[in-house]
Amino acid sequence: MTSDLETAQFHIKRGLRHLPDGGFMVRWFKCLPIKVNIFGWRVRWNRLPTRLNLVSRGVDVESSMCTCCDENVEEVNHLFVGCVMVRQLWSRLANWLQVDIPIFTSVDQMWSWVDSHPIARGWREIIGAMVLTLMWVVWKYRNDKMFGNNEFRRHMLLDSIISFSYSWVTSRNCKISKDWNRWMMNPLMN
């Protein structure tokens, strides 16, 4: 007779065979909610329902152009690193964190930059969390714009990144100062 544990192990092993294997690690940040980490996994494996992915699956969409800029086809690399609006957001994030963030051409290149950034590992975790929070906010903005909601306003995106990251990081990491004013100045200086 098969126990419940053996049945569960069988299903997990069978499910793992269907996960993509690209020979690299997927980011998992303990200071971010699980839903944001899963979102990061979906970005990494190109599993988001971007307009290009929807079209490639036979879904009828009114346009395959980027919801944020309407200049290029909406796919993961364009949406998170190539879009004009998002590049401006990257620049504003760099100014806030007082770090030099290069212009990326792909999400992979962005994660390579995070991995190789010359700061202590703990602070690299914070930068990685900020990067994923930026991507989360961009995705939420894209969805709100696409579906006619007005929760996220374009000029408020950096404020949303600062607010979400403060809430998430400080509630899950006891070593980070919970002083909002210090966070607003620069969380890497805490």
Residue 16 located in a structural domain: no
Between 10 and 51, the higher pLDDT residue: 51
Number of domains in the chain: 1
Phi and psi at 45, nearest 5°, equal -100, 10
State which residues form the domain around 65: 29-189
Whole-number pLDDT of residue 59: 95
Give bridge partners of residue 73 from the DSSP assignment: 65
Mean pLDDT, rounded, for 41-51: 95
Residue 124 sits at the vertex; the CA angle it makes with 121 and 126, to the nearest 5 degrees, is 120
Residue 24 located in a structural domain: no
| Whether residue 99 has pLDDT greater than 70 | yes
pLDDT tens digit sequence for 13-31: 554 444 444 545 567 888 8
Residue 8 located in a structural domain: no
What mean pLDDT, rounded, does the chain reach?
Answer: 85
Mean pLDDT, rounded, for 151-161: 87
Residue 22 located in a structural domain: no
Mean pLDDT, rounded, for 117-146: 87
pLDDT tens digit sequence for 102-118: 999 999 999 998 888 77
Residue 42 located in a structural domain: yes
Whole-number pLDDT of residue 172: 85
Q: How sure is the predictor about 74, in pLDDT bands with cuts at 50, 70 and 90?
A: very high
> In the chain, what percentage of residues exceed pLDDT 70?
82
pLDDT tens digit sequence for 55-69: 999 999 999 999 999
Q: What is this structure's pTM? A: 0.83
Between 121 and 83, the higher pLDDT residue: 83
Residue 92 located in a structural domain: yes
Residue 171 located in a structural domain: yes
Interatomic CA distance for residues 92 and 158, integer angstroms: 7
Residue 18 located in a structural domain: no
